[in-house]
Structure 1
């Protein structure tokens, strides 16, 4: 749940929605989402609103320029071509890792205040929060369990195709076939992620009910510490495969698809710049 809240301060990439529109209304979306998990008193809501505004301002002033620079670098490298003189597979992996670093920095920044807000909840509110997070996790688990292995695999392929088309534009039959063939190389981790979420919630419940603010802060700032060794290894393996497969697709982009990708990169770069400068 807390991960979802801070996501509202980060990057919005929702189909049919303007990045600028969503980012400038992050506070509204955060309040709307929070209402699904816990009922705050007026005083608690005021504290959250004030704190969220500070987080949002910090993110706009300190983090958006980093996003802008990252997209500018990707664009520059891609314009120089694929290969040693431009964008390499290793460089693409560095960009993916950079955005994870941005995400971890955001978690670390908001964790102390968010933890302090969390432990000020009443016992009833804490139980409500934990119960709703558990219910949300159980719904995810049930939805996953109800799918056959074939459905899970096809959904994974469909999601990959959709994501690639966002960046490259319409894919041809050969590219879709390549994505389908590549999909069998990934290690399935959905079940491991659901277990990780369950483990995190158990630790969070114990810390929250004990009003252990340091532990709550740590769980928000470094939730990934609770990943099993197997999950972490699979995450890194799949990331490497994703970069390798993405780069292979990029080598076969048509001129139209290359223009589409450059346009997307330019849009993100200019949007982050505008969001930072025009505030």
Structure 2
């Protein structure tokens, strides 16, 4: 692993999608994961609580099964029996996550408070980024297994509808993203970065806002690479799903395993570069926080830690 933020978390930023709230507004494409809102939504519902300080953590977590159904329905409609099997499998995933992952999230938040006490040392910040990425990969692997088992239940017509939905979303992304000028692209990034950090800290100070502007200016534009990679990947996935040979789940896993190796060198370099810029920028903003921002951030982290600890023992 490089010293930059990498893997599932950095790819979320690399596509210029900075909003990590558990919602449908932006796409997040991760290395080694299935594209699509069902995965994206559950990923952030279960993991981004460690970053977002959402006051409704327990409420949303205990209802994530209902929310995931809404998003899954955008891609494929399950019949009653298929939905029942999906629900049973999803219950097992949530049970695993509550038992094996949530206690670690609470400890991670304790580590975050210690990092704040120590003036956000660089090495500790990198280690925390690595721990978050490892948690993301564990959740990604479990949810991928759920999606593959659900895919085995689908009829040819349902698989075809799923492929059509993926491509329709791709065309929507391309129309929305590629028409932007570089200036509009960076203005969008800057606004989202400001909004995201303000959720934790409150309004940015003038020096913090200036630091965001400087950091965004240093980032490599990657949305074109991301969309090109996503289109190729969807085409390959579609071939596997529509032919549907008996070993198609293994073919999907092989496709995913080789995805990072198939990225263009310039895309890989941009991912590493942007990950490092994001890490340094976030650290600088935290080190420049005011007393008021510090109180707000610590209050959110403590409240979130207590929520996660309570969820873990339910």
* TM-score, with length taken from structure 2: 0.80
Match of 1:68 among 76, 81, 106: 106
Q: Which residue of 1 aligns with 2:39?
A: 3
- Written as runs of structure 1 = structure 2, the 5 A alignment for 1:1-279 is 1=36, 3-4=39-40, 6-7=42-43, 10-11=46-47, 18-79=56-117, 81-82=118-119, 87-211=120-244, 212-219=248-255, 224=260, 226-277=262-313, 279=314
CA distance in 2, matches of 1:248, 1:5: 29
Deviation at 1:229, TM superposition (A): 3.4
For residue 184 of structure 1, give the secondary structure of its aligned residue in structure 2: helix
Instruction: Indicate conservation of the 8 Å contact 2:76/2:161, yes or no.
Output: yes
Question: Aligned pair count?
Answer: 273
Work out which structure has the larger RCO, using CA pairs closer than 8 Å and 6 or more positions apart in sequence.
2
Instruction: Indicate conservation of the 8 Å contact 1:68/1:273, yes or no.
Output: yes
CA distance in 2, matches of 1:33, 1:58: 21
Kindly report the root-mean-square deviation, in angstroms, between the aligned alpha carbons of the 2 structures: 2.2
**Which sections of structure 2, spanning at least 5 residues, go unmatched?**
1-35
Runs of 4+ in 1 over 6 A off after TM superposition: 14-17
> How big is each residue's C-alpha offset from its partner over 1:94-136, in whole Å with a ceiling of 9 and x where there is no partner?
2122211111111222333421321331111101001001111
* TM-score, with length taken from structure 1: 0.89
Compared with structure 1, are the counterparts of its residues 157 and 38 closer, same or farther at alpha carbon in structure 2 (3 Å cutoff)?
Answer: same
Deviation at 1:15, TM superposition (A): 9.5
CA distance in 1, matches of 2:64, 2:71: 10
**Which sections of structure 1, spanning at least 5 residues, go unmatched?**
none
CA distance in 2, matches of 1:23, 1:210: 37
